[in-house]
Amino acid sequence: MIKKTKIVSFNINGVNSAIRDGLLEFMAKEDADIYCFQEVKSNPENATNSDIIRGMGYEEFWNPAKKKGYSGVMFYTRIKPLAVIYGMGIEEFDDEGRVITAEYEKFILVNAYFPNSQHELRRLPYKLRFNEEYLKFVKKLEKDTGKPVVLTGDFNVAHKEIDLRNPKSNEKNAGFTIEERESFTQILKHGLKDSFRELHPGMQGAYTWWSYKFKARERNIGWRIDYFVVSDKLMKHIKESEIILNIPGSDHAPIRLILEL
């Protein structure tokens, strides 16, 4: 029997502030089967209104950072996972709460908040190490389970010039360096596809992040840095991979994937 699964991914830039800005209303309206949140900046003990979300039929799984108010990823899911994996088994990344994985009947879902290379690229080496270990982790999941993967989250990189408004002026800036873009290309070369770009190969002005400065969002001066990357064999089952615009509460836009398996 073919089932439709709706997955929404969203860098919410703080779960408690996002809830104050209407996250619960967005979740109720979108009615996704699974929500993947990044940069939650909290933990289960300090999150507000979790009881309301559980009342909507969701089970929650958290992987917060050790540092308070920083990073962290989580799932809200109506489909009970067969297993949940917290982190990648590498302390320098797991301490920052960057990866959480759920195994479902027909696929593996990996929710990640990739490091930002930061000002003067001071964390670029850390970011590139993370990318390498992440790819190893994902390929091992595929091999061990025999299941295709859905990789989502804030990858903190615009892959191609079409994926940001001002590519030339950002060539040496975090998120658009040659090293980061090539690292993302290497991930895709291992039997994976950027589902949005596969479905919308020539679409320009499609962004998921905007600076808070200079009315960037109002002027659509943005970057596409949030993705659903899927195993090749899943592409024929992807019915939708879209950006959800005009959702308040974050400097990111949520993204939606509809999978029929």
Catalytic residue among 33, 134, 154, 163: 154
What would the pLDDT profile of 207-240 be if each residue is shown by its tens digit?
A: 999 999 989 999 999 999 999 999 999 999 999 9
Which structure tokens are listed for 45? 């003990």
In the Cβ-directed half-sphere of 23, how many Cα atoms lie within 13 Å? 29
* Amino acid in the structure at residue 238: I
Which structure tokens are listed for 246? 């005009």
CB within 8 Å of 163: residues ≥ 6 apart: 206, 207, 223, 224, 225
Catalytic residue among 35, 58, 113, 227: 113
pLDDT confidence bin for 13, thresholds 50/70/90: very high
| Range name among 38-52, 81-95, 111-125, 143-157 with the lowest pLDDT average | 38-52
Full residue range of the structural domain in which residue 67 is found: 4-260
Task: Indicate if the alpha-carbon torsion angle 176, 182, 183, 187 is positive or negative.
Answer: positive
Give the CATH number, domain containing residue 116: 3.60.10.10
Rounded CA separation 157/64 (Å)? 22
Mean pLDDT taken over the chain: 96
The total number of structural domains in the chain stands at 1
At residue 177, the pLDDT reads 98
Instruction: For residue 144, indicate whether it is catalytic.
Output: no
Rounded CA separation 167/158 (Å)? 9
- Strand-pairing partners, residue 112, are 99, 153
At residue 30, the pLDDT reads 96
Instruction: For residue 113, indicate whether it is catalytic.
Output: yes
What would the pLDDT profile of 117-174 be if each residue is shown by its tens digit?
A: 999 999 999 999 999 999 999 999 999 999 999 999 999 999 999 999 999 999 999 9
Q: Is 90 exceeded by the pLDDT of residue 1?
A: no
The whole-model pTM stands at 0.97
